[in-house]
Structure formats: structure tokens, C-alpha cells
Amino acid sequence: MNILYVGDNRDRPNWGCRGTSIALYQLLSEKFTISNKITGDQIARTVNVGKLFPEFSNKLNVDWKRPKPILSNLVILEDKLARKLGKSRDVIEPNLKTSVKDFLKYKNVKSQIESIYQWIEACDAMVVNGEGDMIFTSPPRRKLLFLLTVMEIANSLKKPIFYVNAMISDCPISGRNQDTTEQAVEILEKCQLVGLRDPVSFELVESFSRQISARFIPDALFTWQRYFLESELPKNGDFIIPYPEIDEYFGKLDFSQPFICIGGTSLAPKRFDKAIPAYTHLVESLKKLGKTLILVQACTGDEFLQEVSRKTNVPFVPINVSILMAGAILSNANLFVSGRYHPSIFASLGGTPCIFLGSNSHKMRSLQDVLEYKEPHEFSAFPTERECEEITELAFSLIAEGAERRQIIKNLAAKRAEEAKAVVHLISPSPMQATF
């Protein structure tokens, strides 16, 4: 069976995108042929089209699957004229029906759209790597709108759809975008499987509709535990410095002694003015533990940690290290403090205990349920001075539990790894005849 894999985000610098995308790809490859991939960069790349005549495609009785050359030329002319007059826009819009209509309208004149449509036509099934994209923000995320658009087109072509490895969440800042939610639910009801990576997402989906074929399936990244059970780091951290080798990175990292990693959070990019002083104070507080501290940039949004590194004289791991090296660092740490979801899984694969900070969704709270933390707690994304003290006290107690706690975390991660493998056994669609 030929799979179109949508959302292979390994071309994004984010550690979580790279790790979980590759892990899911590897799982799927064990059973299926992945004929084509729609990557994160392809999804992010806007496709500007003309919108001078809103009812252009309705007024002309056009079979857009096989348009006559003259009509294709009219579409191109409209697009060019719109660009000159400043009337162009992205083909992906908040209204799903409009996005689908224009996607089809321009599929023979925009190469990016044409390739994607042909891949959908050619596949036996579409597997969408949902990750953390289905957050119902206001305004809605373009990536989510793109995914819903191609899923609706696949459904129109009678292609089975599997939306997996996913979180679904309201937005803690703007609340729930009801229009986007309703459109997403309509599409999810058409999926043969909606695989949710945490129980909170599963409960939320069940509250939306009982018509959605939802299952709790742990994140594909758990299956990477095999890489980190026996992983070792070079004592001299200079050996992990990635290309291009920046002078200020040399002579800073030392893995010969026990160390604590500190990562960012998905809320930090919105408020660097709050993040830098908050994390500076957090680092200064954690220095009381007498351990080596290392700041890790797991996402482009965590670039503020470079400034924290300079202010605190604490070494910094840049985002562009190899993904397995990133996992090895986190899984060998004594402790990881972060508001990042997949990096916390990386840490857990090697038994590293985590302290969880706030994020742009319920993910850090729900991950503690997945990891079966007995007393789950989420600190602020911008910890106060008092919270920094509480984090330091908690860090001391977690590290003190030593090898026993690490083994408990490793065992739980191994259990989740086996459960995550189930996703491939739930993808077995029957071919259907296209009617589009």
C-alpha cells in the first residue's frame, strides 16, 4: 500500500519536529511504501493567488480537473493582474470551503499545488502527522488550515485518512476558535483513525463528537528509546559543535560531570522581555545545586536562551546539533527543566526526570499523565522568583532519588514505546473508487 505522508517536519529545525517525524516515518516504513511526503517547509510556504473576481470559478462552468487551455490562461491572467494591483492572497484561508475551491482552481497553474494534488491522487491512503498543530487559536494557524484542506481533498478523492501522532487543544491565551473547531471536527469525523498522543486530547475529542474514531496512542518518539538506553556523550563537548562552528561555542561544554539541562517554552517567543529575566533568575537559582548547568535550544523560539547564556555564563547547545546528539544530551542529564514537549520525551527515554514549565497548550500537563508522574505540576512559562526557588527545591529532591527513579522512568518509557508501535497495525484501509 502506498502512503502519502503529510507533515514530515524533519526539515524544520525544531528538535521535536525532527525527532517525532523521523520516528513515525520509520514506523510506517516497516509496513507500507511511502510514495511521497509533504514536508513542513512545503506546508509553510504560502501560495499567493489572485482574488479579483470572487465568483470567477462559479460563473464559468469549468471542469477544473481538465480545464481547457484558454480557461487556464484566464486563471493565470487573473493571478498576474491581482499581483500588480496588490489584490493577491494566500490560497489557504480560514474558510475551509474557500481553500478547497481555490486549491482545485489553481492546481493546474501553480506547480506547488499541482504536485500535492497529484500525490493525493496517486496514494492509497493519507497519513497525517498531526503533532501539536491542532490548537484552536485565534487567528487560526495556517498549518492547521493547510492540513484540513488537503485532508478534505483526500476525502473527496475517496482516499482513507489517518490523522495520527497528534495533540488537539484549546488555546490557553485566546481560548477556543469555534469556527476552526467546527471545521476540524467535520474533517476528523471522516478519518478512519484519529490517533491522539495524550489522554487530555482524547477526552477533548470525545467531547466534540462520538463520530470520531479516536484512540490514545503514545507519541512515535517513544519508539526511539532504543537509541538512548546505552548512549554516551564525549567528555569534551567541543565534539558536538555543529556546522558552522561558531567561536563562542568552543571550550564551554563539559559532559564529564553530572549536568542539568534547561530548555525553553513555546510561550517564550511571544515575550522575550519576560523570558530573559525569568530564565536568568531560574539559572542563578539552580546554580545552588552545585551541578553543571547547560542551556539547550530545542526550537527557534528558544533563541533567547543565548542571551541568558551570556548573562549567566552557562554553556549553550544550539538548535542545529544532530537530532540523535540532542536526544543523547537530554537522556543523559541528571534533570531537565523545560516547557518543551518532545525534548521532555527525549529526556525520559534515558530516565532523566523532568520539571515542567507552561506552554501554548495543555501538552506539558498531559505529558505528565502519559509519563505517570504521581504528583503532576506545571510551573509558569515565566517562573517567578518564588517559583524558581520551588523548582530548585524540587530539582534537589528528584536528583536525590537517583538510579531508582531513573529506572522507573525508563520502564515507563519502554511501555509507551510498545504502545506507540500499535499505530501501524491500525492503518489498513480498503481501496475505494474516487468519485471526485
- The residues facing 4 across adjacent strands are 36, 126
Residue 56: pLDDT band (50, 70, 90) is: very low
Length of the chain: 436
- Name the percent of the chain lying above pLDDT 90: 83
Segment among 38-42, 85-89, 294-298, 312-316 with least mean pLDDT: 85-89
Please list, in sequence order, all residues whose beta carbon lies within 8 angstroms of the beta carbon of residue 166, skipping any fewer than 6 positions away: 128, 129, 130, 131, 133, 134, 194, 195, 196, 197, 201
Q: How confident is the model over 212-240, as pLDDT tens digits?
A: 999 999 999 999 999 998 889 999 999 99
pTM equals 0.90
pLDDT level of residue 372 (50, 70, 90 thresholds): very high
Query: Per-residue pLDDT for 80 more than 90?
Result: no
Domains in the chain with CATH codes: 2-222+420-426 (3.40.50), 225-419 (3.40.50.2000)
DSSP state of 314: -
pLDDT band at 87 (very low <50, low <70, confident <90, very high): low
Q: Which residues of 29-55 are buried (b: 16+ CB within 10 A; e: fewer)?
A: eeebeeebbbbbebbeeebebbbeeee
> 336 by DSSP, 3-state: which?
strand
Compute the mean pLDDT over every residue in the chain, rounded to the nearest whole number. Answer: 91
69 pLDDT above the threshold of 60: no
Of 61-75, 268-282, 291-305, the one with minimum mean pLDDT is 61-75
The cell for 183 is 471545521
Whether residue 135 has pLDDT greater than 80: yes
Confidence of residue 428 (pLDDT cuts 50, 70, 90): confident
Specify the higher pLDDT residue, 389 or 110.
389
- H/E run at residue 389: helix 385-400
Quickly state the pLDDT bin for 88 (edges 50, 70, 90). low
Q: What percent of the chain has pLDDT over 70?
A: 89
Supply the pLDDT for residue 30. 95
Q: 292: Cβ–Cβ under 8 A, 6 or more apart, which residues?
A: 254, 257, 258, 259, 260
DSSP 3-state of 35: strand
- At CB < 8 A and 24+ separation, what contacts does 298-301 make? 298/14, 298/15, 298/16, 298/263, 298/264, 298/326, 298/338, 298/340, 298/342, 298/343, 299/13, 299/14, 299/15, 299/16, 299/264, 299/266, 299/340, 300/13, 300/14, 300/269, 301/264, 301/266, 301/268, 301/269
- Across residues 364-370, what is the average pLDDT? 96
CA distance 290 to 286: 8
Instruction: For residue 55, name the pLDDT band (cuts at 50, 70, 90).
Output: very low
Give per-residue pLDDT as tens, 148-173.
999 999 999 999 999 999 999 999 88
